[in-house]
Amino acid sequence: MSRTPPSARRSDAFGPGLDDTGCHILHIDMDAFFASVEIARRPELASRPVIVGGLGNRGVVSAANYRAREFGVNSAMPMVVARRRCPQGVYLPPDFTAYSRVSKAVMAVFAEYTPKVEPLSVDEAFLDVSGSGRLFGSASSIAAEIRRRVSADHGITCTVGVAATKFIAKLASTQAKPDGLAVVPVAGVLKFLHPLPVSALWGVGEKTAAGLARLGLRTVGEIAQVPPERLRATVGRAAAAHLHELAWGRDPRRVEVTRVDKSVGAEVTFETDVAAPEELARAVLALAQKVAARARRAGVAGRTVAVKIRYGDFTTLNRSRTLPEATDVGRDLYRVAMELVTATVTAPVRLIGVRLEGLSPAGDGWYQPRLGEPEHGWRDLERTVDDLTARFGGGVVTPASLLGPDDTPEPKGGRRRRD
């Protein structure tokens, strides 16, 4: 794996040997996670550019290892562009089952050092180790031990930022990538923060950065020296106050142990634009089943069903409907999502997505059959499918409408019949 030269990493001045007194927040980020998991499974790829993502004409890069990034390949890039920039790369479809398995194992390692773990995604988390010192030593020591264990157990690397706040810890890990450890002492926050470009501040994208540049503000330190009132005309009152606080390293947020996702979703980009209603229905059904299964696996249910529709010219529409009661049943999601799609689609569709929003915990006994509904209905059936999928893998049970002409189940004791 290619690594950033030490001279190019600002984190070099903030290595693990610095005073971490008062620094109880760790931000841990796996390095090129999907690609790293694939390389761990196939070590012969370690020296090759490895790109993971959709392999079709409209596929998107999900992850690229650092060797691939040397060729200008980055996540969220269209796969056709990646292939053009790096024709010698190894291109692999994502294996989300494997990534989820490694993610859970890594998060379990984090939990051994502190119960205060806030996952941000499958490959990223904040840890609060303020109560872990007696058992495991300083924050820097814990960070180093976690890095060692992740590498030894899973053959992948992670980068850790150690600081007194979530904002600075996140910045530290970003600056230390890949496979690094950065500590920003309480007394050294401004020395670390102020030379950084304004884009390092949360909420500053290209448009905001351009507006700040017109004011002559290009570094975080320059923003810190400007009264918030001067920023309001460019970014607005709330954002001006927000940027001013961050520019001085102030971030009062705590690690949230019980973070609840706001939505569960899935989407698909078609190889060619789709106009046929039956093809759209098949896609919506598959997405609804996938979203419902993910919700059940996460132990949540939602009241709002939303769809995303993108046409060939990239015009994107979002529509939603709120139900009287929460659900985690794919049949419910499909019915509402299909009504929204039917009422909205007016041209061939490039992409379609289904989301379940307004989530709440779905503990035992939360689901009550509706009036006139059998005691054991569609939810029980779908949960049975979940169990079969967990035991035998995906696709063992599939709605008949999702089967293609070559997917007819083979008769027991004979060959598949094609009439």
Active site residue 124: yes
Where are the strands (E) in 89-209, listed by range?
90-92, 117-121, 124-128, 158-163, 181-183
- Closest to 171 (Cα-Cα) out of 161, 180, 185: 161
Q: 29 labelled as ligand-binding?
A: yes
End-to-end CA distance of the chain: 53
DSSP 259-293: ---SEEEEEEEEEEEE--HHHHHHHHHHHHHHHHH
CB 25 within 8 A of CB 162: yes
In the sheet where 158-163 sits, what is the strand order? 117-121, 124-128, 25-30, 158-163, 181-183
Q: 364 labelled as ligand-binding?
A: no
CA–CA separation, 25 vs 365, rounded Å? Answer: 37
Across 322-337, b (16+ Cβ under 10 Å) vs e yields eeeebbbbbbbbbebb
Q: What are phi and psi for residue 265, nearest 5 degrees?
A: -150, 170
Catalytic position from the list 38, 70, 112, 124: 124
Place of tokens 């290595």: 15
CA–CA separation, 274 vs 136, rounded Å? Answer: 56
CB 322 within 8 A of CB 358: yes
Q: Is 107 strand, coil or helix?
A: helix
- Return the structure tokens found at 328: 């985690």
Across 185-204, b (16+ Cβ under 10 Å) vs e yields beebbeebbbebebebbeeb
| Helix (H) or strand (E) run with residue 322 in it | strand 316-327
Q: Left (φ > 0), alpha (ψ -120 to 50) or beta: where does 354 sit? A: beta
CA distances from 285 to 28, 192, 193, 405 (A): 37, 50, 48, 17
State the virtual CA torsion across 57, 59, 60, 64 in degrees, nearest 10. Answer: -90
Provide the annotated active-site residues.
Answer: 124
Annotated binding residues for Mg(2+), as ranges? 29, 123
Q: Which residues are annotated as a binding site?
A: 29, 123
